[in-house]
Chain A
């Protein structure tokens, strides 16, 4: 057996995670859970799990502590590999295509729907967890079920809301955050005038970029497809949304057309912008680092547009297991354990609002009331619309998201590359290609 720096680091990390599990009482919880576990892992089972790289350190620590407790209680070794979230889907796709790779992948949005026939049927685990914890939220069912069976378990969602500085909006003449699109545009115009403008990503930012442009489209009554997956994006509503985004973009800090998912965090924390859209990670970073601005940061739900109802788009994080795994029961046991109480409560606690539960029973988790600035994120899974909106959530919706069709439509108008009419037609053509396959 070789011993080197890498094995030392891995060993140290595992030992630290186990120690954390022991201190938090998770080890005893895991042992008690293992005795009752309905999904008995195969003898000698070992699992490889690929997950998105954490944005909140305490979330990863809590996750690893739970993994360590699971291993200790069941004897199933779990190797956790981390990748930047945009790289999860390509890696999962390759694994699905070649039939080899990680046993479990914890990915984004509708990734499981890209290769549903390559995945383990998780209906029994979903039914077990749903029965135990008050049922799944609707969006979780939409992302998890394909052809009548569960192909992925949306373990949680990431609420993507407006992050703003209270002092900035007050300086702009607003006491409270506006709740409609017109008021939001007025606020952004006023913020520009104060020298603390708004800024939202219009580069190929899969999380923050897709979140706000879909809100913009849907809030005007536009949509990529109808209930039958017929492309309907070439509509007066989409044109109105383009005009609105153009006006909004003109109020932004320069450069947002190049922003990816990290730029807005940096710009907000350095005081360059007074408003952006993001998860709770900006606020958490400010709190953890003891920044003065933490007290000034608050969050708001997305304004309601002409369509008259909330049209939010939050990130779903489904976990899936490939059917090539030699240890299907161990995979199921792992999922069941991670989403069982109190393991899941502790994990939510570690995520400090970055992750929102997908099982109704966790509405009462302490994380949502410990800090009032987190409470808004409790509703993310219930308020979100799904990829595809009125249409199917499957591989076509995933492809449309991956190709940034809506985002590029707005970006081309905002940056003056295309007229709204041309941009909408171009988007319709791309969407037709995907939805006619």
Chain B
């Protein structure tokens, strides 16, 4: 159990890279990039977890009464997710532009066009 979250994070990153390298469709590649990104969320939150800890929110628990998990990594992950979505939007709009100009979203055909 103690290494499973780290293993899953590594697996998500590697499988996402595999998808990026073998993708025949740029929209599919953007989806694979989202899988790569999710590996960072799992890794960060796994590092911050504490056995028996609860969420770092003190609106309904007395401070100091229970151990809490690490809020710093949670804050990092939180912004990471929203930024990830907007960057995905930027990439998808680039893909739409590529489709408009070159009439294809296959990266292999695109590199043939350039050559």
Decide whether A and B are members of one complex: no
Residues of B near any A CB (own CB < 8 A): none
